[in-house]
Chain A
Amino acid sequence: DQQVKQNSPSLSVQEGRISILNCDYTNSMFDYFLWYKKYPAEGPTFLISISSIKDKNEDGRFTVFLNKSAKHLSLHIVPSQPGDSAVYFCAASGAPGNMLTFGGGTRLMVKP
């Protein structure tokens, strides 16, 4: 059973608008959450993370929101740019150990 789920396989957004990517998890032991971005023919690259003691973390155009009670996190990209077009993976880790569990990814397409 998947512990981390990204229910939208794809998302299309107009340049300049907000992109919202969603992720749900089931394991209440997860205490760190990360977003990775992957371009074709490249490996995933780390984008932003959040600890479970926070509900928001911001880095430039990227903001991650965490709703622990709903076991839901989201990544907001504002404003969206064509270069943001990629596959975005949500990942989570928690005790015991520190391994990352990944979601299936959401393909974001930002149209000029």
Chain B
Amino acid sequence: ETGVTQTPRHLVMGMTNKKSLKCEQHLGHNAMYWYKQSAKKPLELMFVYNFKEQTENNSVPSRFSPECPNSSHLFLHLHTLQPEDSALYLCASSQDDRVRLFSGANVLTFGAGSRLTVL
């Protein structure tokens, strides 16, 4: 497999359930990200991991719990979510969250997303 792979692609869960989203990148990148895309809103950065260490937590509620066991894998553990948490959750990776490529831009490669519906 190549690029950034996210599973599951679709998830429906009740407010009392516990589930996890998984992301895997095959690009040799060192930084991984979780973004949330709600309807009619910009992509919102949730978490950033660089070399397995969390470098950014964008004031995300504790019902979202990230885990990064290594530079290739990123999880988002979900528990006691609310209906307003229904959204598209996008994982991304980049070479490094601080180092800029020759173009100077921190180019992220995104997965296809996990569409979450909370009932």
A→B interface (CB under 8 Å) = 2, 4, 9, 31-34, 36, 41-46, 49, 51, 89, 93, 97-105
Considering the chains assembled together, what is the distance between the CA atoms of A101 and B45 in angstroms?
A: 8
We find that the number of chain B residues with CB closer than 8 angstroms to chain A is 25
Whose C-beta in chain A lies nearest to the C-beta of B92?
A: A43
Closest to B113 in A: A43
Q: How far is the CA of A16 from the CA of B106 in the complex (A)?
A: 32
Shortest distance from the beta carbon of A60 to any chain B beta carbon, whole Å:
16
Other-chain contact of B90, A9, A44, A98 (Cβ < 8 Å):
A44
- Ranked nearest first, the 10 interchain pairs of A and B with the lowest CB-CB distance are A43-B110, A49-B105, A102-B43, A32-B105, A98-B106, A104-B42, A102-B42, A43-B112, A44-B110, A51-B104
- B interface: dominant SS: loop
Using a CB–CB cutoff of 8 Å, the interface residues on chain B facing chain A are 4, 6, 40-43, 45, 48, 56, 90, 92, 97-98, 100, 103-113
User: Are A32 and B45 in touch, CB under 8 angstroms?
Assistant: no
With A34-B105, A46-B109, A93-B106: A98-B42 Cβ-Cβ less than 8 Å: no
